[in-house]
Amino acid sequence: MPDCGELDEGYEMTEDATLEAAVTGKAWAEFCDTLKSAGDIVIDNSSDDLDRIEGFRYLSRLTRGGLQSFIEANDRTFPRVLAIPEQLKIGCDNPDAYYLNVNVDSKHSYRISGTRGTVNYLGIGAYSGGYGVGASKPGRQGYLEDNDPDPTRTISILASVKEPIQLGPDERWLRMEPETSVIILRNFYLDRTAEKPADLAIECLDPPHSDPGPLRAKQLVDGLAMAGLFVHGVADRFVGWVNDYFLERPNTLDFLPANDHAGGWGDPNQLFRHGYWTLEPGQGLLIDIPAIEAYYWNFQLNNLWEESLDYRYLNVTVNKHTAVYEPDGSAKIIVADTDPGYGNWITTGYHRHGTFGLRYNQVTEDIAPVCAVIDLD
Residue 43 pLDDT class (50, 70, 90 cuts): very high
Give pLDDT, residue 133: 84
Neighbours of 29 (CB within 10 A): 12
Give pLDDT, residue 262: 55
Bridge partners for 337 per DSSP:
none
| Phi, psi of 26, rounded to the nearest 5 degrees | -60, -45
Whether the pLDDT of residue 9 is over 50: the answer is no
Instruction: State pLDDT tens for residues 292-312.
Output: 999 999 999 999 999 999 999
Please tell me the distance from the alpha carbon of residue 285 to that of residue 278, in angstroms, as a whole number: 9
**Nearest 10 degrees: Cα torsion 271, 275, 277, 283:** -50
Bridge partners for 237 per DSSP:
none
Instruction: State pLDDT tens for residues 10-23.
Output: 456 789 999 999 99
H or E segment at 225?
helix 217-241
Which residue, 252, 242, 276, 255, is CA-closest to 360?
255
Output the CA angle 155-160-163, nearest 5 degrees: 95
Residue 135 pLDDT class (50, 70, 90 cuts): confident
Query: What would the mean pLDDT of 18-37 be, rounded to a whole number?
Result: 97
Bridge partners for 283 per DSSP:
375
Bridge partners for 358 per DSSP:
273, 299
Arithmetic mean of pLDDT over the chain: 94
Give pLDDT, residue 10: 43
Query: What would the mean pLDDT of 201-228 be, rounded to a whole number?
Result: 96
Compute the chain's Rg from CA coordinates. 22
What residue type is assigned to position 126 of the chain? A
Query: What would the mean pLDDT of 301-325 be, rounded to a whole number?
Result: 98
Give pLDDT, residue 140: 94
The domain 238-375 having CATH identifier 1.20.120.430: the answer here is no
Beta strand 317-319 with 294-302 is antiparallel
Give pLDDT, residue 130: 87
Task: List, as one string, the DSSP characters of 331-375.
Answer: EEEEEESS--SSSEEEE-TT-SEEEEEEEEEEESS----EEEEEE
Give pLDDT, residue 14: 87
Instruction: State pLDDT tens for residues 226-277.
Output: 999 999 999 999 999 999 999 999 999 999 987 775 567 889 999 999 999 9
Neighbours of 73 (CB within 10 A): 18
Three-state secondary-structure class, residue 283: strand
- Overall pTM surpassing 0.85 (yes/no): yes
Which residue, 129, 118, 122, is CA-closest to 99?
122
Q: Domains of the chain: which residue ranges?
A: 238-375
What residue type is assigned to position 26 of the chain? K
